[in-house]
Amino acid sequence: MNTPDTDTKLRGPAVWALVLTGVASFMAALDNLVVTTALPAIRADLGGKLEDLEWTVNAYTLTFAVLLMFGAALGDRFGRRRLFIVGLAIFTGASAAAALSSGIDALIAARAVQGVGAAIMMPLTLTLLTAAVPAARRGMALGIYGAVTGLAVASGPLIGGSLTEHISWQWIFWLNVPIGLALIPLARLRLAESTAPGARLDIPGTLLISGGLFGIVYALVNANSEGWTSATVLTGLIVGAALVGGFIHHGFNNANPMLPMRLFRDRGFLGINLASLLMFLGMFGSIFLLSQFLQGVAGYSPTEAGLRMLPWTGMPMIVAPLAGILSDRIGGRPVVAAGLAFQALGLGWFAAILSADVSYAAQLPPLILSGIGMALYFAPAANVLMSTVAPADQGKASGTNNALREVGGALGVAVLASVFSAQGGYESPQAFTDGTVPALWIGAGAVALAAGLALLVPRKAKADRAPADRSVAVPEKVPAAG
């Protein structure tokens, strides 16, 4: 008689954790690319050059990326549920500010604050979920979580396009406000509090990585307008690289760094994180350009453009749950590697057939292939990541992986837009196509390299190789599971 009661107690908190963290991660991930199909409308309403349009995306991804690990550390130190709620509140308020923006600079500033809120909230979603779900069901739960996150990233153009066309572009931000206001009290009531004993904040590490990544992305975004040899661009690249190097040195030599570089000695952790960075680099940059291609060159409305990307964006709903179950049976490595390979083939196929008068029928096969690849990657990636570290390091592992994804996204938009500007532009449909094709080839190459790096992940999970490690953080995790 006790077993069913025990199962019910485990099931209830786990379901609430999955729903709350899933919805929060959906909002944060959605705002990565929700502005892409709204860019022409934002440009017409608020003005701005290509660099300004890049910053409406990158202001969010950059602050999101550089503060993610700090956000995870804040949660470990002051309480994961508490900081999750704080992040939700900042994100919700900044979404309202973005919707009320009267100029492009105000919009970029609001997007940056949105990224701060997401950086506090997002890494804690995975830690809270992992703690609440029993180990036997963790693969399925993390597969659903990964599918929700992947669907949010992929459906951003459709949701953004529909709201922009039928209401206004401001509603891509207003959408977050009622959802955020509903999640805050539910999180307070339904999520259990937990901390990491002895957790400390790494202020020097945060300053080093924040300054380094900002310098590099700022230089890439401004390279075409100011020239690759300009003092501004060279200074950004050199200083940024030096600060990132200082962050790596700090991670090896500091007693309690934000990101312990020892984690990268595990080839599985190294492989899945580098693969994630390159996946987002290729995918974000490609969606940034293709969503504008469908409107500016193919002549579709924002909603029509989003609908025609559904074979890509809709695949996670169909394939990802199956991929999560498959990864539990055969392991996450082959599923992730296959997904990245399919995504690379899809982008390469797109680059090969793209022209100013390309038919939608010709675009359909690479869209479907890319969608299958995205779903196969997203569903098991979170479980693969968590299997490479001991439970005591899961918070830092989550923050690291999310940060590297966002860094990849920011770099993808900056790098592929830079290639686009060098080879083409907005002057005519042919010029836009001329710039998009080489950018897509670079995106495909980055994701293909990611597929190779995914093979570094061991066949056996760390938890399977060393079951005793699970006891390290069990006392701290127990409250969140009950």
pLDDT at 465: 41
Task: For residues 305 and 290, give the distance between their C-alpha atoms in angstroms, rounded to a whole number.
Answer: 9
Q: How many CB atoms lie within 10 A of CB 289?
A: 25
Task: For residues 92 and 123, give the distance between their C-alpha atoms in angstroms, rounded to a whole number.
Answer: 17
Higher pLDDT, 374 or 199: 374
* CA 38 to each of CA 46, 166, 193, 299, 309: distance values in angstroms, whole numbers, following the listed order: 12, 12, 38, 14, 15
pLDDT at 150: 65
In percent, the amount of the chain with pLDDT more than 70 equals 83
Residue type, 481: A
Residue 249 structure tokens: 């040195």
Largest Cα–Cα separation, the chain: 74
pLDDT at 482: 29
Secondary structure letter of residue 241 according to DSSP: H
Identify whether the C-beta of residue 173 lies closer than 8 Å to the C-beta of residue 307: no
pLDDT at 138: 66
Scored b (16 or more CB within 10 A) or e, 413-437 reads bbbbbbbbbeebebeebebbbbbbb
Identify whether the C-beta of residue 172 lies closer than 8 Å to the C-beta of residue 38: yes
Task: For residues 393 and 379, give the distance between their C-alpha atoms in angstroms, rounded to a whole number.
Answer: 21
Which residue is listed with tokens 């940059």? 285
Task: For residues 277 and 251, give the distance between their C-alpha atoms in angstroms, rounded to a whole number.
Answer: 19
pLDDT higher than 50, residue 4:
no
Task: For residues 332 and 376, give the distance between their C-alpha atoms in angstroms, rounded to a whole number.
Answer: 9
Higher pLDDT, 146 or 167: 167
pLDDT at 346: 92
Least confident of 3-17, 176-190, 408-422: 3-17
Task: For residues 439 and 419, give the distance between their C-alpha atoms in angstroms, rounded to a whole number.
Answer: 6
Task: For residues 477 and 472, give the distance between their C-alpha atoms in angstroms, rounded to a whole number.
Answer: 10
Write the pLDDT tens digit of every residue in 206-232: 888 888 877 887 787 777 677 778 888
pLDDT at 134: 67
Task: For residues 188 and 170, give the distance between their C-alpha atoms in angstroms, rounded to a whole number.
Answer: 29
pLDDT higher than 60, residue 126:
yes
Write the pLDDT tens digit of every residue in 36-79: 778 778 887 887 677 777 778 778 877 877 787 778 778 877 88
Write the pLDDT tens digit of every residue in 343-370: 999 999 989 998 888 888 898 999 889 8
Task: For residues 40 and 36, give the distance between their C-alpha atoms in angstroms, rounded to a whole number.
Answer: 8
Residue 147 structure tokens: 């599918």
pLDDT higher than 50, residue 480:
no
Q: How many CB atoms lie within 10 A of CB 475?
A: 9
Residue 82 structure tokens: 């508490």
Instruction: Indicate yes or no: pTM above 0.75.
Output: no
Write the pLDDT tens digit of every residue in 84-113: 899 999 999 999 999 998 888 899 999 999
pLDDT at 440: 92
Residue type, 110: A
